[in-house]
Structures are given as structure tokens and as C-alpha cells.
Structure 1
Amino acid sequence: MATVTNESQFVTFSLGDEIFAVPVDVVREILDYEDPSRIPHGPAHLLGLRDVRGQGVPIIDLRVRLGMDKTVRTAHTRILVLDIPLADKMLALGLVADKVFEVVPFRHDAVETAPDIGAAWNSDYIRGVVRRTNDFVIIIDLSRLFSDSAPALSAVAQPSRAVA
């Protein structure tokens, strides 16, 4: 007899002070950070390629992809190697995380939809949020985040920065 569960397992990690999560079933492995081989003229969030067990895997600076400042490497910086199912293929890529925490279960009824802030903000990449004691965990919808080339945060929502 099959067991029906009302929770799913997620890998939690941080980008700055924010906590994010991805489903554990898409995480192939977690690696120490090593500089990838650069790819000329790639998008800003593409750091380059890294060899992962004989496969060239694109390494993505998730902070940049989400409209944040680029990652500053520390002793805790890790790469989550993921296999993301898209409509017609499996996308293998590595996401840079400031720190990886743990695998945690979230009850399905505890996952809330992304908040509506009434502004030009693309929250399509948020699958849901989970409340914890003093904060929230943002569950990323990886297939939406990597299915097109539009930035996750609208240019309207970001302040312009003068270049010195």
C-alpha cells in the first residue's frame, strides 16, 4: 500500500540575509565553490562552466539572477548542482549559494503563495513562502526562473545606480 505524504523535502540555503529553498529531488549534489571556466559574452548571471563528474555544468550566480548584488565568495560559499525538469528537456546547472543549511520538510498546507505587493515586480519565480519562527523561507520555482531570459526582478522595481 502506497503511503500518501502531506509534506515535501527541501534544501535550504541563504543569499545574503534571505533564506531560500529548492526541492531536494532536483539537487544532484552540493559542492565546495571553485571558480568556473569563464564563457565570453555570457549573461551577467552566468559565471562559466564547471566540470561535474565529466559533464560541463553552467554555474549561475543566483544573486545576480534575482537582481541582487553579485556573490562575494566566503568559506561557506557552495554550489548546488541541480537537474531541473523543463517542458522538453532536463537542465543541469549549478547555483551559487552563500551558505547551504539543511534538508527540511515543509507541510503542503504551510506553503503560502507569493505576496502581492501591487507593484511591477515579477514574483513568478516564487513557488511559495513558508513561515518560520522569525522569518520566511522562499521556495524557488526553478523551471520558471530558468525557462526564459527575463530577469526575475523587473527593471521598474530596481533603483538606477550611477556609475562612477
Structure 2
Amino acid sequence: MAAGDTQFQLVTFQLGAELYGVNIMDVKEIVKTQSVRPIPHAPHYVEGIFNLRGEIIPVMNLHKRFRLEKKSGDEFDGEMSGLIILNLDGIKISIIIDKISRVVMINSSDVKPPPQMLTGIGSEYILGVVQQGNSYLIVLDIRKLFDPKELQKLISTQN
């Protein structure tokens, strides 16, 4: 989000019981769940890597990163789960999601500062929270979720 923007778009998705959003400008694509190869000695939240059209992409598990319970299979439609491919300043990563929701337009003025602690997620990972009726949309700061040097190391050791 650039300073001065009055509106921006978020790709929203569900993880456990919560609704999250990431800036659409950081999303490259959304794909079905892929076959993931584990990486030895990777951080606990890294599921592994997969090959997407010849490109090796690390797979991050936000359930593990945020210490969230994964909903049981019958609570979510497997057709709606998958991976969101993000482009972090030239480094592509993917995050596992329970259910893709939709793209929403948000007014910058509707984004409130994150509370100190929200369902186990540290506020350092959250840009803000948007109230939507009786629920909340948590806007993630994807650049703070993952250490770029660590990601680059994961990718370079697999090529």
C-alpha cells in the first residue's frame, strides 16, 4: 500500500476460524494444493518446496507460523483450499490456505491498528484489522512474515 492511497484491494482467505487478507499487488496467483517435497533443517513453518512450471517455490504453513488449529476436512471445501503464490520483492513463496474467499476493496481509513495479540498472531505480522459486520478481516504484512535472507537460502539450496 502506497502512502496516500484511499482504497486498495485484498485477496482474502481463511485460516482456521479467521479471515485474512494480503495486498493483491503481492499475489502472483492462486493454485491447487501441490505435491510438496520436504526440506531438511528448514524452519518449523516451512512445509517444503514444489515445482511450478519449472520454478522452485517454498511452501509456508501459516497454521504452524501462527500456531493455529487447522479446521477438520468436513468444515472446509477441499476445492477451495490451495496455495497463494506471493511475490516478495522478486522472491516467490507460497502460503497454504484453508479456503480462498474473494477479492475485496478496502478504504485505508477502515484499517485500524492491530491489537497487541490477536488469536496467537503477533501484532508485528499485522498491518491492521478491518471490521466487517460482526467479524474481522486481518490484513497481513507479508514482508514481516518471512525473513528474505532465509527464503533466498531455501531457494538457492534447492536449485
Q: TM over 0.5: same fold?
A: yes
Cα distance in 1 for partners of 2:33, 2:71 equals 11
- Summarize the alignment of residues 56-75 of structure 1 with structure 2, pairs less than 5 Å apart: 56-69=56-69, 74-75=78-79
Q: Secondary structure at the match of 1:124?
A: helix
Please tell me the root mean square deviation across aligned C-alpha atoms, in Å.
Answer: 2.3
**Residue type at the aligned position of 2:141:** D
2:87 counterpart (70, 83, 86)? 83
What do residues 94-128 of structure 1 show as CA deviations (whole Å, max 9, x unaligned)? 000000011100000000000136xx973100000
The secondary structure found in structure 2 opposite 1:50 is strand
**Gap regions ≥5 residues in structure 1:** 150-164
1:110 touches 1:130 (CA, 8 Å); kept in 2? yes
Separation in structure 2 between the aligned mates of residue 47 and residue 71 of structure 1, nearest angstrom: 18
Which amino acid letter does the alignment assign opposite residue 127 of structure 1?
L
Specify which structure has the higher proportion of helix.
2
Alignment of 1:130 onto 2:130: yes
Q: Give how far 1:148 is off.
A: 7.3
SS of match in other structure, 1:25 = helix
Query: For residues 141 and 5 of structure 1, do their structure 2 counterparts lie closer, same or farther at Cα, with a shift above 3 Å needed?
Result: closer
Q: State how many pairs are aligned.
A: 140
Bigger CA drift: 43-52 or 4-13?
4-13
* Structure 1 residue 52 displacement after superposition: 1.5
- Percentage identity across paired residues of the two chains: 29
Distance 1:106 1:45 in 2: 29
Q: What does 1:1-164 align with in structure 2 at a 5 Å threshold?
A: 6-69=6-69, 74-85=78-89, 90-116=90-116, 122-147=122-147
**Deviation at residue 75 of structure 1 after TM alignment:** 3.7
